[in-house]
Amino acid sequence: MDGDNLLLEDGLSDDLDDDFDDEEEHSDPLLPDNRYLDRELSWLAFNQRVLELAEDPLVPALERANFLAIFSSNLDEFFMVRVAGLKRRILTGLALPTNIGRVPVDVLTDISEKAHLLQQRHSRAFKDLVEPALREGGIDIVRWDELSDAERTVLDDYFSAQVFPVLMPLAVDPAHPFPYISGLSLNLSVRVRNPKTQKVEFARLKVPQMLPRFVRIAGVAASGEPMRFISLEDLIANQLDDLFPGMEILDHHVFRVTRNEDVEVDEDETENLIKALEKELLRRRFGPPIRLEVTDDMDDETLGLLVRELDITTQEVYKLPAPLDLSGLFSLQKIDRPDLKYPNHVPTTALQLSPSEPNQRQDVFKAVSRGDVLLHHPYESFATSVQSFLEQAAADPDVLAIKQTLYRTSGDSPIVEALIDAAESGKQVLALVEIKARFDEQANISWARKLEKAGVHVVYGLVGLKTHCKLALVIRQEKGGVLRHYSHIGTGNYNPKTSRIYEDLGLLTADPEVGKDLTRLFNELSGYAIEKKFKRLLVAPRHLRKGLLKRIATETENARAGRPSGIRIKVNSIVDEAVIDALYRASQAGVPVDVWVRGICGLKPGQEGLSETIRVRSILGRYLEHSRIFSFVNGGEPDVFIGSAT
């Protein structure tokens, strides 16, 4: 890449981070007050676009089921983080106005209204569209009353052998207080009557999470007939006589609770961040309920009991058709039906990294020393580029040191294994593990301890900041004893599994200025550093916003002077008000602005007198669009940034 192309990295960002208030005031009296879109409703609009993919008949049936599962999982996290954050701020008296000046109580009302509509639409999409499409493709999710006698016999045996032993019915009476309901668990509420006393009792039955959510009805259907499944909760509900022998089963219903599962650790007040975080993770299980989902056939008495015991409002109750929790549809992806999925895609090896001869071994260092290599995943393989780079570095006797950030990685990470191999061979290895990566905290703590045991120097970044940059730096001794820096800067995580489904960019470079910048940055992140000047990087939170605002201002000036101008931005979300206001001013000056934003967008495009030259598009599809790109025409000498910000 040419020397004018810069790199962008950040130290603070997450799509659902609880950061309702800006670092500073960015009011501009020349811009209208109502110039932003509501952040929370914008996120719900994004998830609606995910749902629309599930509704699209041109998408293969199993992929449509997968999009239903993604919608469900996304919405769970939205409630656990964003809605929980709004409620927490209200309860603690920190209910500052949102980005559009509304009080959080009103925003919660809007969220509830929109979320209720979306969840109903989500359920209808399964019932009316996706379930019939699966059935047409030979995958049938059936109810108990649709089963033949032979199928019921098979399932009776399965229940007795695999399900019954792990079930734990819990009574609710004066001797048995209302049980704790874990977040996101499926549960059956059961009302039974004692035939001797005629007394009606209530019990709760948790659906085991370690068992398959959809049970294959095996050994009955003839060859060529549809594969038939039944939901685990439906199977259990029709075996209640075995669980409550001698009792009369009056009714049963499915329900599910979502809790506040965000984690807060006061890093300034703790001496051991890992221990403090582990303690907070234990507390997370007992966060207050923020949503109750129930099947729409639940009687008022049972619903009233749940609302009372869980201490939630009627606004937080979602009555939905069964089945609840369609994230369980993820399990259907294991079905070997390529005709019901997207065509198989095999990533290629980047041309510059491919050996020139058929039997020649790949040499990443040699390739990168000849010139920068821009990688585009998943179209180009992560395994034969980034993974090979780190594995070769671990095995190369000329490599003296490896420095690496880890935000999220896979369960059997070859990246972690490469770092361990490097440390065990005597190399200096530094791993910056972000243990506050949301919902991956426990996994990252485990990785940190495993790395430390192998002799890797493990650090956790800067107090009060989340280290979100994706960086690797290899120091190699070459001819004449010269130390050369080989760097990787990426927009995605060092995760071989997600690299196959996330669209991301990465740059492998031996540029000495980039290497020196990364050395300075790693020193800042691992030690004490006052000097924070970089030649090729913009690093949040100190330089990133200023750097972007400066370049947007340059485009604005160029447009007014009649010089070439233009801005193209691709991000996960765009909510920074200072950046949005700068883009409005650029548009008012006539700068063409194209923004591709996958998720939250606070920017209003196409508004007369404000943003007429701004176009906003959102790309959703087979791969999760994850790369971040900032491109500026710069009077005909383009500046292009990639990174992990926003």
Neighbours of 125 (CB within 10 A): 20
- Does residue 626 have a known ligand-binding role? yes
Residue type, 183: G
Q: DSSP letter for 176, please.
A: B
Please give the order of strands across the beta sheet that includes 200-206: 170-172, 200-206, 186-193, 248-259, 289-295, 317-320
- Does residue 502 have a known ligand-binding role? yes
Q: How far apart are CA 293 and CA 289, in angstroms?
A: 11
Q: How far apart are CA 294 and CA 296, in angstroms?
A: 6
Q: How far apart are CA 629 and CA 336, in angstroms?
A: 36
Residue 225: CA count within 13 A, CB half-sphere: 9
Neighbours of 210 (CB within 10 A): 5
Q: How far apart are CA 36 and CA 38, in angstroms?
A: 6
Number of helices (H), then strands (E), in the chain: 17, 24
Q: In sequence order, what are the residues at sequence separation of 6 or more whose Cβ sits closer than 8 angstroms to the Cβ of residue 577?
A: 22, 26, 36, 99, 602
Q: How far is residue 512 from each of residues 5, 385, 392, 473, 517, measured CA to CA in Å?
A: 14, 20, 20, 11, 9
293's enclosing H/E stretch is strand 289-295
- Examine the residue annotation and report whether 485 is marked as an active-site residue of this protein: no
Residues in the chain: 646
Q: In sequence order, what are the residues at sequence separation of 6 or more whose Cβ sits closer than 8 angstroms to the Cβ of residue 594?
A: 566, 567, 568, 569, 614, 615, 617
* Backbone torsions φ then ψ of 74, nearest 5 degrees: -60, -45
Token pair for 313: 């409002």
Q: Which long-range contacts (CB under 8 A, 24 or more apart) does 237-241 make?
A: 237/144, 237/188, 238/144, 239/156, 239/159, 239/163, 239/164, 240/190
Among residues 645, 363, 387, 641, which one has the least CA distance to residue 494? Answer: 387
The SS3 call for residue 247 is: coil
Q: Which of 122, 468, 485, 543 is catalytic?
A: 468
Q: How far apart are CA 367 and CA 354, in angstroms?
A: 9
Q: DSSP letter for 6, please.
A: -
Q: How far apart are CA 599 and CA 619, in angstroms?
A: 9
Q: Do 492 and 502 touch, CB atoms closer than 8 A?
A: yes
- Does residue 623 have a known ligand-binding role? no
State the catalytic residues. 468
As annotated, the binding site includes 74, 408, 438, 502, 598, 626
As annotated, the binding site for Mg(2+) includes 408, 438
